[in-house]
């Protein structure tokens, strides 16, 4: 039980750090993506990195996040940005425009496009989930997402006892299939109901694993820059 409490404490700490790192500072005004952004039910994008490529599919159930991600990709917003925060057994995070010109050791995670996106919370944080970072509840009770920063869940299988405890604590009702997926393949169920998941990795989870294992500093920034380029397929 002590071990489980420690895991919950660590999970909560990681959530708070992730929220703070993924926040916006330019404005608190919620805006939506440009109206001319278009998508289909099978919108695929490729995140290219020096460690390999990650293919992701965007969800139609989160149209504002989907259209915003497409809009930014079309504009080349993500090209040259870094995966600036990586934690093995948890997630990899990127999308901060300030990272394009960041010096070694420079703190990152506060930049964005100048707007947030209203929450579209619903999809689960299975391994490979593409999710939006955000500021913590204390300053963001509506749980609006960062306009550009995102993370990809890397965590592996969740022990059944831990999953049951997390589900009981959150009050979320999981289907047998959802529980089975967490137990077999992994994810971060302690984030369910708190962040917007707007897509999933369909190819390249081995690249996500590789990035998560990169050597990093005390702020979890990789010692060697991991740049990305995002394009629509």
Q: Which residues make beta-bridge pairs with 203?
A: 55
Q: Tell whether the model's pLDDT for residue 22 goes beyond 50.
A: no
User: What's the confidence (pLDDT) of residue 90?
Assistant: 98
Q: For the chain, which domains are there?
A: 2-27+37-232 (2.40.100.10)
pLDDT level of residue 18 (50, 70, 90 thresholds)? very low
Give the tens place of pLDDT for each residue, 35-56: 334 444 679 999 999 999 999 9
Summarize the confidence of residues 20-37 as an average pLDDT. Answer: 35
Percent of the chain at pLDDT above 90?
82
Higher pLDDT: 17 or 143? It is 143
- Predicted confidence (pLDDT) per residue in 82-133, tens digit: 999 999 999 999 999 999 999 999 999 999 999 999 999 999 999 999 999 9
Which pLDDT score is estimated for 42?
Answer: 76
pLDDT higher than 60, residue 209: yes
| Res. 220: pLDDT tops 80 | yes
Percent of the chain at pLDDT exceeding 70: 82
pLDDT in tens, 183-195: 999 999 999 999 9
Whole-number average pLDDT of the chain: 87
When mean pLDDT is compared across 1-5, 117-121, 206-210, the lowest value belongs to 1-5
Phi, psi of 50 (to 5 degrees): -70, -10
173-186 residue pLDDT tens: 999 999 999 999 99
């Amino acid at each position: 039980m002590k071990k489980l409490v420690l895991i919950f404490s660590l999970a909560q700490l990681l959530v708070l750090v992730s929220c703070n790192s993924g926040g916006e500072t330019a404005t608190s005004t919620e805006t939506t993506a440009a109206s001319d952004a278009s998508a289909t039910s099978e919108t695929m994008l490729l995140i290219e990195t020096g460690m390999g490529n990650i293919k992701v599919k965007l969800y139609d159930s989160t149209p504002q996040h989907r259209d915003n991600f497409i809009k930014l990709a079309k504009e080349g917003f993500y090209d040259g940005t870094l995966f600036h925060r990586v934690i093995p057994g948890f997630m990899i995070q990127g999308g901060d425009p300030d990272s394009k010109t960041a010096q070694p050791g420079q703190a990152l995670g506060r930049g964005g496009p100048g707007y947030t996106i209203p929450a579209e919370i619903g999809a689960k944080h299975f391994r490979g989930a593409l999710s939006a970072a955000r500021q913590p509840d204390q300053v963001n009770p509506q749980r609006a997402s960062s306009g550009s920063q995102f993370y990809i869940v890397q965590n592996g299988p969740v022990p059944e006892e831990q999953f049951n405890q997390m589900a009981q604590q959150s009050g979320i009702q999981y289907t047998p299939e959802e529980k089975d997926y967490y137990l077999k393949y992994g994810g971060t169920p302690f984030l369910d109901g708190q962040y917007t998941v707007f897509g999933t990795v369909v190819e390249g989870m081995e690249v996500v694993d590789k990035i998560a294992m990169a050597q990093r500093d005390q702020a979890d920034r990789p010692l060697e820059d991991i740049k990305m380029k995002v394009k629509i397929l």
